[in-house]
Structure 1
Amino acid sequence: MFTGIITDIGEIVSLTPTAQGQLHRLRIACRYDRATIADGASIACNGVCLTVVASGVAADKTWFDVDAGAETLAMTTAKHWATGTKLNLERALKIGDELGGHIVAGHADGVATVVKHDSLPDMARFELSTTRELARFIATKGSVTLDGVSLTVNTVADIAFSVLIIPHTLNVTTLGGWRAGTEVNLEVDLMARYAARLSEMK
């Protein structure tokens, strides 16, 4: 479990696909303390929960390896990741951690595309669109996770929605680099998904 509060920006330093293209081994450099990363730990990378399979230190920089499988490559923006790609990182929750965002599973539901980027005084506004299937779970003032970042929905219109980003979030995440056409990982609010399922069963 995660909260959508980013704690570091990592960078892919190597990417090795299998011959069948069903699995990508990624090495990600970060600022986390190597001693705190255990094999088998979960780290959300741009909102995708991935399992650490190895870690170490090189050139005074911590690195960890993760595998992105076929489902992840098909459902998320991981298929576009390459050496040099910057990723929003979040460590898994521990008992006693502050729940600063909202409950995030790290299981991206699909992709949203940035339609428009407006620079406003002291903040940015992004309009995005997604599939009709996922749009039904998005509501004004509700929560969404975009590239791992917990955000509040500002407006909704059919399959489009908007979010406002404060300066702090722009500074500590990769969101400042979003432009029209950028694809981002989308996880809808778990509560919205369960509410929709209960409604369907009535």
Structure 2
Amino acid sequence: MFTGIVTALGTITQATGTQHVHARIAAPFDPEGIAIGASIACSGVCLTVVDKGGVAGDSWFAVDISGETTSRTVAGRWAEGTTLNLEPALKLGDELGGHIVTGHVDGVGRVVSISTVGDSIRVIIAAPADLAPYIAEKGSITVDGISLTVNDIADQADGTCHFALNIIPHTAKVTTAGEWAEGASVNLEIDVLARYLKRMQALKG
């Protein structure tokens, strides 16, 4: 379980495989605080630590990324040199600063436009039709592992939707949000309550 509050940026330094990928990720963590088998959200994807090394502030951890995961997340995201938003799993008693995030990506969105509004950045993202009904104005959504609030939403004729986000300077600085560009793809996770609502509605036919 996560909150969508990114604690560090990591970089993929090694990646082998295509559908099933084994990756080593450099991160400013203390390896003594990373347990083998622990979960770390990597740009919104919950992955299991299978190896680790380095020293405090200059560590690395290794993960295996299944074909199921690579097929449901941004294409090319698991290549060497890619920067990732990192968040270790929530511990009992930790502050719930964002919202409840599972680390299970529901779909891939596309950045439609980016504009500056004051000191902040306004980002419009297109979401696929199967996720559109579960994105609500002032609701929470996870974009590349970042907990964000939907400012407004515009439904499209083809069933997709465009939703707007406000990225404050701090978020742009400490996450990959500051590197987003028009046309870029991003991992999306709908709010966990909307996920259960989606299942309930599906069972009703």
Instruction: Return the alpha-carbon distance in structure 1 between the equivalents of residues 181 and 25 of structure 2.
Output: 24
Instruction: Classify the secondary structure of the residue corresponding to 2:199.
Output: helix
TM-fit CA distance, 1:187: 0.1
Structure 2: 5+ residue stretches without partners: 156-160
Q: Which residue is equivalent to 1:14?
A: 14
Q: Say which of 109, 114, 117 aligns to 2:111.
A: 114
Instruction: Return the alpha-carbon distance in structure 1 between the equivalents of residues 202 and 62 of structure 2.
Output: 40
> Structure 2 counterpart of 1:193, which letter?
R
TM-fit CA distance, 1:60: 6.8
Query: Identity of paired residues, percent?
Result: 54
Q: Normalising by the residue count of structure 2, what TM-score does the alignment of the two structures yield? A: 0.93
Q: Does 2:182 align with 1:180?
A: yes
> Structure 2 counterpart of 1:189, which letter?
D
The verdict on how the C-alpha distance between 1:106 and 1:59 changes in structure 2, with shifts beyond 3 A counting, is closer
TM-fit CA distance, 1:79: 3.6
Q: Which residue is equivalent to 2:154?
A: 157
The verdict on how the C-alpha distance between 1:83 and 1:140 changes in structure 2, with shifts beyond 3 A counting, is same
Instruction: Return the alpha-carbon distance in structure 2 between the equivalents of residues 190 and 60 of structure 1.
Output: 33
The verdict on how the C-alpha distance between 1:59 and 1:104 changes in structure 2, with shifts beyond 3 A counting, is closer
Instruction: State whether residues 43 and 144 of structure 2, in contact with CA within 8 Å, keep that contact through their aligned partners in structure 1.
Output: yes
Q: Does 2:74 align with 1:72?
A: no
The verdict on how the C-alpha distance between 1:136 and 1:56 changes in structure 2, with shifts beyond 3 A counting, is same
Q: Does 2:60 align with 1:63?
A: yes
Instruction: State whether residues 4 and 145 of structure 2, in contact with CA within 8 Å, keep that contact through their aligned partners in structure 1.
Output: yes
Q: Which residue is equivalent to 1:198?
A: 200
Instruction: State whether residues 154 and 161 of structure 1, in contact with CA within 8 Å, keep that contact through their aligned partners in structure 2.
Output: yes
Q: Which residue is equivalent to 1:96?
A: 93
> Structure 1 counterpart of 2:197, which letter?
A
Instruction: Return the alpha-carbon distance in structure 1 between the equivalents of residues 90 and 179 of structure 2.
Output: 27
Instruction: Return the alpha-carbon distance in structure 2 between the equivalents of residues 8 and 113 of structure 1.
Output: 23
Instruction: State whether residues 39 and 54 of structure 1, in contact with CA within 8 Å, keep that contact through their aligned partners in structure 2.
Output: yes
Instruction: Return the alpha-carbon distance in structure 1 between the equivalents of residues 203 and 69 of structure 2.
Output: 29
Q: Which residue is equivalent to 1:31?
A: 28
Q: How many residues align?
A: 199
TM-fit CA distance, 1:61: 1.7
The verdict on how the C-alpha distance between 1:97 and 1:167 changes in structure 2, with shifts beyond 3 A counting, is same
The verdict on how the C-alpha distance between 1:149 and 1:59 changes in structure 2, with shifts beyond 3 A counting, is closer
What is the Cα-based RMSD across aligned positions, in Å?
Answer: 1.6
Q: Which moved more, 1:100-109 or 1:53-62?
A: 53-62
> Structure 2 counterpart of 1:166, which letter?
I
Q: Which residue is equivalent to 2:158?
A: none
Instruction: Return the alpha-carbon distance in structure 1 between the equivalents of residues 74 and 193 of structure 2.
Output: 24
Q: Say which of 42, 45, 52 aligns to 1:45.
A: 42
Q: Which moved more, 1:128-137 or 1:57-66?
A: 57-66
> Structure 1 counterpart of 2:196, which letter?
Y
